[in-house]
Amino acid sequence: MADLHLQQQRRVQQQQQQQQEQQRQDGASSPPHVPTGRPAWGQQAGGGSGSGRQGGGAGRAVPQASPQAGPPLRTSQLAGGVLNGLPQGSTASPPLWVIQMQPLTSFLRRQVEQGALRTPLLPSGEQAPPAAHHADDTTLTARDPAVDGPVLMAAVQLFCRASNARVHPDKSKAMGLGRFAHLTGPCPHTGVPFTTGAVTHLGVPLSWDSDAAAADLYTRRARGMAFVARLWAALSLTLVGRVHIAKQVLAAKLAYHFSFLNPSPAQLKELTDLVDHFAARSMHAEDASLVLHGNPLLLPKPATLEDAHPGAAYSCAPGLRHHVGVGVQRRAGASGAACPYRSSPH
């Protein structure tokens, strides 16, 4: 145990020495003054010409700090390597990413306030926020790729230089809207490729053709629901078990996307049938009466008892024998009907 502890101490000391040597080299090669203060970051939700971690289709201008920006940022203090990360799907990932990207967002908002960066106009006439972050994704927006694209890229490069971050071009996409919707291929001003399809933001496809994006989304959702339904159908679930799975597993796959995109009537029927058939279709004897055969779930309410069961002496569930086939049986030679539920005669 003592040897292991000594080895760990030596390893930590070596890492610290390497970081100090790297910092000395960076300090010697870096400019004496970097014109950026402690930036003020903001939120931006989309609608521009770019998307992706690099910012889609936006421009670059050499960032300049205002006199009120505060003390300069020392870029020689580079961040060290990250030895431990978060597991996939960790709930700590979104807030940590927002904290990490706060300087970039603050600087971009300052650029918008100073007029160096233009973003798409909102219906109110105000400029949209220049950046939006979620989990480990960042969306940057700009009004014109040729004019504002270089401004965005300069800010991103400055942030990467100060934080030791890197941009993944393969994971970055740009989407042009309005008069830039025709753009394809790599953007000459940012290097980010324009996509002709939808850009996914928080799991929701964003595209100029929202109907096509919604159709593609719910087609994939239906395929995934059918696959999961087949897996659960292999188990001998009771009615209660199937209802719970239909609600918590199958229908839950749709709840989030229903908040943003509406499926077509045909797709809505397909998705509803998947859930209904999983819950109602069964080979168990106890569920033989639950198959709907296309009938509505809520039976029509008759105006009077005579409308439901002519000549009935006792009240029963209205219309039950017509849709389920249990509960109401005629007595031979009698004008009344037997019902398993006692009630006062009408």
pLDDT digits (tens, 9 = 90+) for 282-340: 655 555 555 545 554 445 565 554 555 554 444 444 443 333 333 334 344 444 444 44
Phi, psi of 192, deg, nearest 5? -85, 130
Give the confidence band of 109 by pLDDT, cuts at 50, 70, 90: very high
Both 214 and 265 in one domain: the answer is: yes
Q: Look at residue 243 and tell me if it is in a domain.
A: yes
User: The pTM is what?
Assistant: 0.48
Both 174 and 221 in one domain: the answer is: no
Q: Look at residue 59 and tell me if it is in a domain.
A: no
Phi, psi of 69, deg, nearest 5? -70, -15
Both 191 and 263 in one domain: the answer is: no
Q: Look at residue 103 and tell me if it is in a domain.
A: yes
State the residue range of the domain holding 134: 94-196
Q: Is 243 exposed, middle or buried (0-12, 13-18, 19+ CB in 10 A)?
A: middle
Tokens for 266, please give them.
């045909």
Q: Look at residue 244 and tell me if it is in a domain.
A: yes
pLDDT in tens, 117-176: 999 988 898 999 999 887 777 888 899 988 998 999 999 999 988 888 888 877 888 888
d(CA 130, CA 57): 12
**Of 284 and 9, the one with more pLDDT:** 9
The two counts, helices (H) then strands (E), for the chain are 9, 8
Total Cβ atoms within 10 A of residue 56 = 30
pLDDT in tens, 84-104: 677 777 888 888 888 888 999
d(CA 276, CA 264): 18
Both 186 and 251 in one domain: the answer is: no
Catalogue the long-range contacts made by 300-306 (C-beta closer than 8 Å, 24 or more residues apart).
305/346
Nearest to 198 by CA among 219, 221, 181, 222: 181
Q: Look at residue 274 and tell me if it is in a domain.
A: yes
Q: Look at residue 77 and tell me if it is in a domain.
A: no
Q: Look at residue 161 and tell me if it is in a domain.
A: yes
Both 122 and 189 in one domain: the answer is: yes
| Number of structural domains in the chain | 2
Q: Distance between the two ends of the chain, CA-based, in angstroms?
A: 88
SS3 at position 170: helix
